[in-house]
Amino acid sequence: MIATYYVTDSLSHDSGSNHPESSERVRSLNTLFISMEKERLTTIHEISPAKDLSLFRMAHDPAYIDFLERPPKPLPISIDPDTSLSPGSLAAMKGLSGAITTINKQIGSSQRAFLLARPPGHHARRSAGMGFCLVNTIATQALSLLSWNPTLRIAIFDFDVHHGNGTEEILGKTPGVLTISTHQYPFYPGTGSGRENHTGHSGEGLLDIPLPEGTTDDAYYRTFESCILPRLTRFAPDVLLVSAGFDGHREDPLGGFLLTEKTYRHIGKQLSSVFPSTFIVSILEGGYNLRALTNSVRSYMEGLNS
Protein backbone atom coordinates (compact mmCIF):
# COMPACT_ATOMS: atom_id res chain seq x y z
CA MET A 1 0.00 0.00 0.00
CA ILE A 2 1.20 3.50 -0.82
CA ALA A 3 1.43 6.13 1.91
CA THR A 4 0.36 9.51 0.52
CA TYR A 5 1.47 12.76 2.12
CA TYR A 6 -0.58 15.93 1.87
CA VAL A 7 0.82 19.35 2.80
CA THR A 8 -2.18 21.49 3.73
CA ASP A 9 -0.09 24.66 3.55
CA SER A 10 0.65 23.96 -0.11
CA LEU A 11 -2.68 25.62 -0.80
CA SER A 12 -1.22 28.88 0.53
CA HIS A 13 1.25 29.30 -2.33
CA ASP A 14 -0.17 31.53 -5.08
CA SER A 15 1.43 31.26 -8.52
CA GLY A 16 -0.72 34.11 -9.84
CA SER A 17 -4.07 34.59 -11.52
CA ASN A 18 -4.83 32.27 -14.46
CA HIS A 19 -1.57 30.40 -13.82
CA PRO A 20 -1.53 26.73 -14.87
CA GLU A 21 0.17 25.76 -11.59
CA SER A 22 -2.79 26.34 -9.27
CA SER A 23 -3.89 24.98 -5.93
CA GLU A 24 -6.67 23.09 -7.72
CA ARG A 25 -4.06 20.57 -8.80
CA VAL A 26 -3.43 19.32 -5.26
CA ARG A 27 -7.07 19.76 -4.25
CA SER A 28 -8.15 17.40 -7.02
CA LEU A 29 -5.46 14.87 -6.13
CA ASN A 30 -6.31 14.96 -2.45
CA THR A 31 -9.91 14.19 -3.41
CA LEU A 32 -8.58 11.27 -5.46
CA PHE A 33 -6.54 9.99 -2.52
CA ILE A 34 -9.56 10.15 -0.20
CA SER A 35 -11.40 7.93 -2.68
CA MET A 36 -8.44 5.56 -2.99
CA GLU A 37 -8.13 5.36 0.79
CA LYS A 38 -11.72 4.10 0.94
CA GLU A 39 -10.69 1.44 -1.59
CA ARG A 40 -7.74 0.52 0.68
CA LEU A 41 -5.24 1.50 -2.00
CA THR A 42 -3.53 4.20 0.06
CA THR A 43 -3.28 5.77 3.48
CA ILE A 44 -3.30 9.57 3.78
CA HIS A 45 -0.95 11.40 6.14
CA GLU A 46 -0.99 15.12 6.83
CA ILE A 47 2.33 16.85 7.41
CA SER A 48 3.50 19.03 10.28
CA PRO A 49 5.53 21.90 8.79
CA ALA A 50 9.13 22.62 9.71
CA LYS A 51 9.93 25.75 11.69
CA ASP A 52 12.12 27.20 8.93
CA LEU A 53 13.79 26.38 5.61
CA SER A 54 17.13 25.25 7.05
CA LEU A 55 16.85 21.79 5.47
CA PHE A 56 16.87 23.34 2.00
CA ARG A 57 20.31 24.80 2.69
CA MET A 58 21.64 21.36 1.83
CA ALA A 59 20.65 21.93 -1.79
CA HIS A 60 20.57 25.72 -2.15
CA ASP A 61 22.91 28.64 -1.57
CA PRO A 62 22.41 30.15 1.90
CA ALA A 63 21.83 33.60 0.41
CA TYR A 64 18.94 32.28 -1.68
CA ILE A 65 17.29 30.62 1.32
CA ASP A 66 17.77 33.85 3.30
CA PHE A 67 15.97 35.66 0.47
CA LEU A 68 13.05 33.20 0.55
CA GLU A 69 12.71 33.47 4.33
CA ARG A 70 13.16 37.25 4.50
CA PRO A 71 12.32 38.81 1.13
CA PRO A 72 13.58 42.38 0.71
CA LYS A 73 10.29 43.89 -0.40
CA PRO A 74 6.55 43.28 -0.10
CA LEU A 75 5.14 40.16 -1.70
CA PRO A 76 4.37 38.93 -4.27
CA ILE A 77 7.75 39.05 -6.00
CA SER A 78 8.41 37.71 -9.50
CA ILE A 79 11.34 35.28 -9.48
CA ASP A 80 11.09 34.91 -13.25
CA PRO A 81 8.21 35.46 -15.73
CA ASP A 82 6.61 32.15 -14.66
CA THR A 83 7.51 31.96 -10.96
CA SER A 84 6.31 34.04 -8.01
CA LEU A 85 7.09 34.24 -4.32
CA SER A 86 3.71 34.93 -2.70
CA PRO A 87 2.71 35.71 0.89
CA GLY A 88 1.80 32.04 1.38
CA SER A 89 4.88 30.54 -0.27
CA LEU A 90 6.96 30.35 2.91
CA ALA A 91 4.31 28.24 4.66
CA ALA A 92 4.15 25.90 1.66
CA MET A 93 7.93 25.46 1.63
CA LYS A 94 8.01 24.80 5.38
CA GLY A 95 5.43 22.11 4.73
CA LEU A 96 7.64 20.54 2.08
CA SER A 97 10.57 20.55 4.51
CA GLY A 98 8.43 18.80 7.10
CA ALA A 99 7.37 16.26 4.49
CA ILE A 100 10.95 15.42 3.54
CA THR A 101 11.85 14.74 7.17
CA THR A 102 8.70 12.70 7.80
CA ILE A 103 9.10 10.53 4.71
CA ASN A 104 12.80 9.91 5.28
CA LYS A 105 11.97 8.47 8.70
CA GLN A 106 9.79 5.83 7.01
CA ILE A 107 12.69 4.04 5.33
CA GLY A 108 12.51 0.45 6.43
CA SER A 109 8.88 0.63 7.53
CA SER A 110 7.09 1.74 4.36
CA GLN A 111 7.93 0.65 0.84
CA ARG A 112 6.02 3.26 -1.18
CA ALA A 113 5.26 6.95 -0.65
CA PHE A 114 3.70 9.72 -2.76
CA LEU A 115 4.14 13.39 -1.82
CA LEU A 116 1.71 16.00 -3.12
CA ALA A 117 4.41 18.64 -3.49
CA ARG A 118 3.47 22.20 -4.31
CA PRO A 119 5.07 24.26 -5.67
CA PRO A 120 6.92 21.75 -7.86
CA GLY A 121 10.67 21.65 -7.55
CA HIS A 122 12.79 20.06 -10.27
CA HIS A 123 13.62 23.33 -12.09
CA ALA A 124 14.79 25.12 -8.92
CA ARG A 125 18.53 25.69 -9.21
CA ARG A 126 21.09 26.06 -6.46
CA SER A 127 20.79 29.85 -6.28
CA ALA A 128 17.45 30.65 -7.93
CA GLY A 129 13.94 29.42 -8.58
CA MET A 130 12.52 29.08 -12.08
CA GLY A 131 9.82 27.31 -14.07
CA PHE A 132 7.12 27.42 -11.33
CA CYS A 133 9.67 26.05 -8.79
CA LEU A 134 11.06 27.78 -5.69
CA VAL A 135 12.95 25.01 -3.84
CA ASN A 136 14.14 21.66 -5.13
CA THR A 137 12.35 19.09 -3.00
CA ILE A 138 13.73 15.94 -4.58
CA ALA A 139 17.37 17.09 -4.55
CA THR A 140 16.99 18.15 -0.93
CA GLN A 141 15.52 14.77 -0.04
CA ALA A 142 18.43 12.96 -1.68
CA LEU A 143 21.03 15.07 0.12
CA SER A 144 19.17 14.73 3.41
CA LEU A 145 19.20 10.95 3.08
CA LEU A 146 22.91 10.96 2.30
CA SER A 147 23.63 13.12 5.34
CA TRP A 148 21.90 10.47 7.43
CA ASN A 149 23.60 7.52 5.70
CA PRO A 150 26.42 8.36 3.25
CA THR A 151 26.55 4.77 1.97
CA LEU A 152 23.05 4.84 0.48
CA ARG A 153 22.69 4.35 -3.26
CA ILE A 154 20.02 6.77 -4.46
CA ALA A 155 18.48 6.84 -7.94
CA ILE A 156 16.35 9.71 -9.19
CA PHE A 157 14.03 9.09 -12.15
CA ASP A 158 12.31 12.16 -13.63
CA PHE A 159 9.53 11.48 -16.16
CA ASP A 160 8.15 15.03 -16.34
CA VAL A 161 7.88 16.31 -19.92
CA HIS A 162 10.35 19.08 -19.00
CA HIS A 163 13.99 18.38 -18.18
CA GLY A 164 14.80 18.56 -14.46
CA ASN A 165 17.68 20.98 -14.89
CA GLY A 166 17.73 22.13 -11.28
CA THR A 167 17.99 18.63 -9.87
CA GLU A 168 20.93 17.81 -12.11
CA GLU A 169 22.70 21.10 -11.37
CA ILE A 170 22.42 20.58 -7.61
CA LEU A 171 23.35 16.92 -7.47
CA GLY A 172 25.96 17.04 -10.25
CA LYS A 173 28.42 14.23 -9.72
CA THR A 174 27.36 13.46 -6.15
CA PRO A 175 28.81 10.06 -5.18
CA GLY A 176 26.17 7.37 -4.84
CA VAL A 177 23.51 9.22 -6.85
CA LEU A 178 22.21 8.22 -10.29
CA THR A 179 19.96 10.74 -12.06
CA ILE A 180 17.83 9.68 -15.04
CA SER A 181 15.52 12.00 -16.97
CA THR A 182 13.22 11.49 -19.94
CA HIS A 183 11.88 14.72 -21.42
CA GLN A 184 10.81 16.48 -24.58
CA TYR A 185 13.77 18.01 -26.42
CA PRO A 186 14.25 20.61 -27.73
CA PHE A 187 11.90 22.22 -25.22
CA TYR A 188 11.87 24.28 -22.03
CA PRO A 189 14.24 24.79 -20.22
CA GLY A 190 16.59 24.04 -23.12
CA THR A 191 18.82 21.58 -21.26
CA GLY A 192 19.04 17.79 -21.25
CA SER A 193 20.46 17.09 -24.71
CA GLY A 194 22.36 14.05 -23.45
CA ARG A 195 25.80 15.51 -24.16
CA GLU A 196 26.61 15.60 -20.44
CA ASN A 197 25.76 11.95 -19.74
CA HIS A 198 28.34 10.12 -17.68
CA THR A 199 28.78 7.01 -15.54
CA GLY A 200 30.83 6.84 -12.35
CA HIS A 201 32.90 3.90 -11.19
CA SER A 202 30.05 2.61 -8.99
CA GLY A 203 27.30 3.08 -11.56
CA GLU A 204 26.20 6.50 -10.38
CA GLY A 205 26.05 9.39 -12.82
CA LEU A 206 23.69 11.07 -15.25
CA LEU A 207 21.49 9.70 -18.01
CA ASP A 208 19.46 12.24 -19.98
CA ILE A 209 17.16 10.73 -22.60
CA PRO A 210 15.80 13.49 -24.88
CA LEU A 211 12.65 12.47 -26.74
CA PRO A 212 10.92 14.26 -29.63
CA GLU A 213 7.63 16.09 -29.63
CA GLY A 214 4.84 13.64 -30.41
CA THR A 215 6.32 10.75 -28.40
CA THR A 216 3.64 8.06 -28.01
CA ASP A 217 2.98 5.34 -25.45
CA ASP A 218 4.69 2.69 -27.59
CA ALA A 219 7.77 4.84 -28.16
CA TYR A 220 8.04 5.59 -24.45
CA TYR A 221 7.63 1.90 -23.55
CA ARG A 222 10.59 1.02 -25.79
CA THR A 223 12.77 3.69 -24.20
CA PHE A 224 11.75 2.66 -20.70
CA GLU A 225 12.42 -1.03 -21.28
CA SER A 226 15.65 -0.66 -23.26
CA CYS A 227 17.36 2.26 -21.49
CA ILE A 228 15.86 3.15 -18.13
CA LEU A 229 15.16 -0.18 -16.44
CA PRO A 230 18.53 -1.72 -17.38
CA ARG A 231 20.45 1.29 -16.00
CA LEU A 232 18.40 1.32 -12.80
CA THR A 233 18.81 -2.43 -12.38
CA ARG A 234 22.58 -2.28 -12.78
CA PHE A 235 22.77 0.55 -10.24
CA ALA A 236 20.63 -1.37 -7.70
CA PRO A 237 19.42 1.61 -5.64
CA ASP A 238 18.57 1.45 -1.96
CA VAL A 239 16.17 4.36 -2.50
CA LEU A 240 14.39 5.37 -5.70
CA LEU A 241 13.12 8.96 -5.81
CA VAL A 242 10.73 9.75 -8.65
CA SER A 243 10.06 13.23 -10.02
CA ALA A 244 6.52 12.37 -11.05
CA GLY A 245 5.41 14.90 -13.63
CA PHE A 246 2.31 14.03 -15.62
CA ASP A 247 2.48 16.81 -18.22
CA GLY A 248 3.52 14.31 -20.88
CA HIS A 249 -0.16 13.37 -21.19
CA ARG A 250 -1.64 14.07 -24.60
CA GLU A 251 -4.28 16.37 -23.05
CA ASP A 252 -1.79 18.51 -21.11
CA PRO A 253 -1.64 22.13 -22.33
CA LEU A 254 2.09 22.61 -21.65
CA GLY A 255 3.69 19.54 -23.21
CA GLY A 256 4.06 18.02 -26.64
CA PHE A 257 4.05 14.30 -25.86
CA LEU A 258 1.09 12.07 -26.76
CA LEU A 259 1.14 9.79 -23.72
CA THR A 260 -1.94 8.33 -22.06
CA GLU A 261 -2.65 6.89 -18.63
CA LYS A 262 -1.32 3.57 -19.94
CA THR A 263 2.25 4.84 -19.84
CA TYR A 264 2.00 6.00 -16.23
CA ARG A 265 0.46 2.70 -15.16
CA HIS A 266 3.26 0.87 -16.98
CA ILE A 267 5.95 2.94 -15.26
CA GLY A 268 4.46 2.30 -11.83
CA LYS A 269 3.95 -1.40 -12.44
CA GLN A 270 7.46 -1.96 -13.76
CA LEU A 271 9.16 -0.01 -10.98
CA SER A 272 7.20 -1.97 -8.38
CA SER A 273 7.94 -5.30 -10.08
CA VAL A 274 11.65 -4.77 -10.68
CA PHE A 275 12.31 -3.12 -7.29
CA PRO A 276 9.95 -4.89 -4.87
CA SER A 277 12.11 -4.20 -1.79
CA THR A 278 13.34 -0.73 -2.70
CA PHE A 279 11.97 2.32 -0.90
CA ILE A 280 10.22 4.30 -3.68
CA VAL A 281 9.19 7.91 -3.08
CA SER A 282 7.24 9.74 -5.79
CA ILE A 283 7.12 13.53 -5.65
CA LEU A 284 4.60 15.46 -7.72
CA GLU A 285 6.06 17.76 -10.36
CA GLY A 286 4.03 18.85 -13.42
CA GLY A 287 0.59 18.06 -14.83
CA TYR A 288 -1.78 20.90 -15.69
CA ASN A 289 -4.96 19.40 -17.13
CA LEU A 290 -6.90 18.41 -14.02
CA ARG A 291 -8.71 15.45 -15.57
CA ALA A 292 -5.58 14.07 -17.21
CA LEU A 293 -3.56 14.68 -14.04
CA THR A 294 -6.03 12.90 -11.78
CA ASN A 295 -6.46 9.92 -14.11
CA SER A 296 -2.71 9.63 -14.68
CA VAL A 297 -1.84 9.74 -10.98
CA ARG A 298 -4.44 7.09 -10.23
CA SER A 299 -3.07 4.86 -12.99
CA TYR A 300 0.51 5.34 -11.80
CA MET A 301 -0.41 4.50 -8.21
CA GLU A 302 -2.43 1.46 -9.25
CA GLY A 303 0.66 0.32 -11.13
CA LEU A 304 2.84 0.80 -8.05
CA ASN A 305 0.31 -1.14 -5.99
CA SER A 306 0.19 -4.10 -8.37
Q: Are 87 and 210 in contact (CB under 8 A)?
A: no
Catalytic site includes residue 60: no
Distance CA 294, CA 301 (A): 11
Sequential pLDDT tens for the chain (306 residues): 899 999 999 999 999 999 999 999 999 999 999 999 999 999 999 899 999 999 999 999 999 999 999 999 999 999 999 999 999 999 999 999 999 999 999 987 768 999 999 999 999 999 999 999 999 999 999 999 999 999 999 999 999 999 999 999 999 889 999 999 999 999 999 999 999 999 998 899 999 999 999 999 999 999 999 999 999 999 999 999 999 999 999 999 999 999 999 999 999 999 999 999 999 999 999 999 999 999 999 999 999 998
Closest CA to 247 of 280, 281, 211, 290: 290
Query: pTM score > 0.95 for this model?
Result: yes
Q: How far apart are CA 246 and CA 163, in angstroms?
A: 13
Phi first, then psi: give them for residue 111, nearest 5 degrees.
-90, -20
What domains appear along the chain, each with residue ranges and CATH number?
A: 2-305 (3.40.800.20)
Q: Which of 60, 123, 163, 266 is catalytic?
A: 123
The CA–CA distances, whole Å, from 87 to 10, 52, 69, 95, 288 equal 12, 15, 11, 14, 23
CB 234 within 8 A of CB 207: no
* Separation CA 32–CA 301 (nearest Å): 11
Backbone angles phi, psi at 271, to 5 degrees: -60, -40
CA atoms of 43 and 37, how far apart (whole Å): 6
